[in-house]
Amino acid sequence: MKPAPLSYRRAESVEHAVTLLGEHGDDARVLAGGQSLMPLLNMRRLTPRVLVDITRVPGLDRVNGPAVGALVTQFALGEQPRLDDAIGECLPYTGHYATRHRGTIGGSIAFGEPRGELPLVLLTLGGAVSVSSVGGEREIAAENLYTGAYSTTIKADELLVSTRWPRAGPGEGRAFTELAQRHGDFTLACACAAITVSHDEIVGARIGVGAVADRPLLVDGAARALIGGPAAGAQDVIAAAADATAREIDAYDDHHASARYRRHLAGALVADAARRALDRARHA
Is residue 1 one of the residues assigned to a domain? no
Q: Examine residue 84 and state whether it is found in any structural domain, yes or no.
A: yes
Domain match, 127 and 234 both: no
Residues 181 and 104 in one domain: no
What is the pLDDT at residue 176?
Answer: 98
Give the closest residue to 136 by CA, choosing from 117, 163, 157, 167.
157
**Is 149 a member of any domain?**
yes
Q: Are residues 186 and 157 located together in one domain of the fold? A: no
Residue 229 lies in a domain: yes
Domain that holds residue 176: 172-282
Last residue of a domain, one of 164, 195, 210: 164
Q: Write the pLDDT tens digit of every residue in 148-198.
A: 999 999 999 999 999 999 999 999 999 999 999 888 788 999 999 999 999
Q: Return the bridge partners of 10, or none.
A: 53
**Residue-wise pLDDT tens digits, 198-255:** 999 999 999 999 999 999 999 999 999 999 999 998 999 999 999 999 999 999 999 8
109 shares a domain with 12: yes
Q: Are residues 158 and 178 in the same domain?
A: no
CA distance 212 to 264: 11
Query: Are 35 and 148 in a shared domain?
Result: yes
Backbone torsion region of residue 98, taken as left when φ is above 0, otherwise alpha when ψ lies between -120 and 50, otherwise beta: alpha
In a domain, 137, yes or no: yes
Region for residue 126 given its phi and psi (left: phi exceeds 0; alpha: psi -120 to 50; beta: otherwise): left
Q: What angle do CA 96, 139, 73 make, to 5 degrees?
A: 20
Q: Measured on CA atoms in the order 118, 124, 125, 129, is the torsion positive or negative?
A: positive
Residue 202 domain-assigned? yes
Identify the domain boundary among 119, 144, 164: 164
Instruction: Give the H/E segment covering residue 196.
Output: strand 189-198
Domain count, the chain: 2
Q: Are 102 and 35 in contact (CB under 8 A)?
A: yes
Between CA 103 and CA 184 the distance in angstroms is 14
Do 133 and 85 share a structural domain? yes
